[in-house]
């Protein structure tokens, strides 16, 4: 023997602080009375403490200090329990601290302070916007313009019909080209001409693009 037991008084091991050595021994190791951050006290062997195997009174079943989960690094446990697991303070790569239950970390449900899902949402939104832009110009046609809804400032109240020098003039614009469909004494006739042109020009277009929905009254 001859080797003096190490004095651990006041030293911290994880959540435990060694208070005083007891008379008990575990093999040759001294059993210490310790106080845990949770408020409870417990006994731990000097070997368990110094080797890093014993870090708390048992209140923290799984110590994940320093473990990484996505962008998060577990910093320290809190006293809270949520979804039956310990809530941990985590530091996100973006610099933000957040509180996450252990179960959400180990299950891979939470991987950031929230910055990741915000970025993913923004990426998704960007993709959606690009897809919409792509779809709206098919074969040089702006699909959103293929509509039977008249402009709000149109006097005739029928899309593609305007009142011109005592007559109703029908027209249709397709793929950047305006087609004149004639002048009519009644708005009904002008509208009929416009509808016929829609069926011919747009019908063909929508038939060859079945993925697009036609805005039809």
> Which of residues 39 and 176 has its CB atom nearest to Zn ion in the complex?
39
> Which of residues 79 and 204 has its CB atom nearest to Zn ion in the complex?
79
Indicate which single residue of 8, 34, 36, 201 sits in contact with Zn ion (rule: CB under 5 A): 36
Q: Does 92 bind Zn ion (CB under 5 A)?
A: yes
Indicate which single residue of 54, 85, 104, 112 sits in contact with Zn ion (rule: CB under 5 A): 112
**Least distance from C-beta 107 to Zn ion, angstroms?**
19
26-34, 84-92, 127-135, 152-160 -> range binding Zn ion (CB under 5 A): 84-92
**Least distance from C-beta 118 to Zn ion, angstroms?**
9
Indicate which single residue of 47, 59, 91, 187 sits in contact with Zn ion (rule: CB under 5 A): 59
**Least distance from C-beta 59 to Zn ion, angstroms?**
3
b or e along 151-179 (b: 16 or more beta carbons within 10 Å of the residue's beta carbon)? Answer: eeeeebebbbbbeeeebbbbbbebeeeee
Question: Residues 149, 194: contact at Cβ < 8 Å?
Answer: no
Indicate which single residue of 115, 138, 162, 192 sits in contact with Zn ion (rule: CB under 5 A): 115
If we measure between CA atoms, which residue out of 154, 162, 155 comes closest to residue 191? 162
Q: How far is CA 142 from CA 8, 82, 138, 146, 216, in A?
A: 78, 52, 7, 7, 16
> Which of residues 101 and 160 has its CB atom nearest to Zn ion in the complex?
101
- DSSP-derived 3-state class of residue 133: helix
Query: Would you state the structure tokens that stand for residue 50, as one six-digit string?
Result: 């110094």
Size of the site for Zn ion (CB under 5 A): 12
- DSSP-derived 3-state class of residue 47: helix
Q: Does 54 bind Zn ion (CB under 5 A)?
A: no
> Which of residues 68 and 155 has its CB atom nearest to Zn ion in the complex?
68
Cα gap 98→155, rounded to integer Å: 59
E strands in 83-197? 85-92, 97-101, 137-138, 141-142, 161-164, 167-174, 177-184
Indicate which single residue of 20, 22, 68, 94 sits in contact with Zn ion (rule: CB under 5 A): 94
Name the residues that contact Zn ion, by CB under 5 A. Answer: 36, 38, 40, 56-57, 59, 92, 94, 96, 112-113, 115
């Amino acid at each position: 023997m001859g080797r003096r037991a190490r004095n651990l008084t006041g030293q911290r091991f994880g959540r435990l602080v060694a208070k005083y050595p007891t008379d008990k021994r575990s093999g040759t190791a001294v059993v210490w009375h310790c106080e845990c951050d949770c408020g409870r006290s417990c006994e731990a062997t000097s070997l368990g403490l110094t080797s890093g195997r014993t870090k708390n009174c048992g209140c923290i079943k799984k110590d994940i200090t320093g473990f990484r989960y996505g962008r998060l690094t577990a910093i320290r446990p809190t006293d809270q329990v949520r979804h039956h697991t310990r809530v941990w303070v985590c530091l996100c790569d973006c610099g933000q601290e957040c509180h996450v239950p252990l179960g959400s970390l180990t299950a891979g449900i939470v991987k950031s302070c929230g910055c990741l899902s915000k970025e993913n949402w923004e990426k998704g939104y960007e993709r959606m916007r690009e897809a919409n832009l792509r779809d709206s110009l098919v074969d040089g046609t702006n699909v959103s313009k293929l509509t039977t809804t008249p402009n709000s400032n149109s006097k005739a109240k029928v899309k593609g019909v305007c009142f011109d020098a005592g007559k109703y003039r029908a027209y249709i614009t397709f793929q950047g080209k305006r087609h004149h469909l004639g002048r009519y004494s009644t708005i009904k006739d002008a509208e009929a001409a416009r509808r016929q042109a829609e069926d011919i020009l747009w019908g063909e277009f929508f038939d060859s693009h079945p993925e697009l929905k036609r805005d039809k009254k």
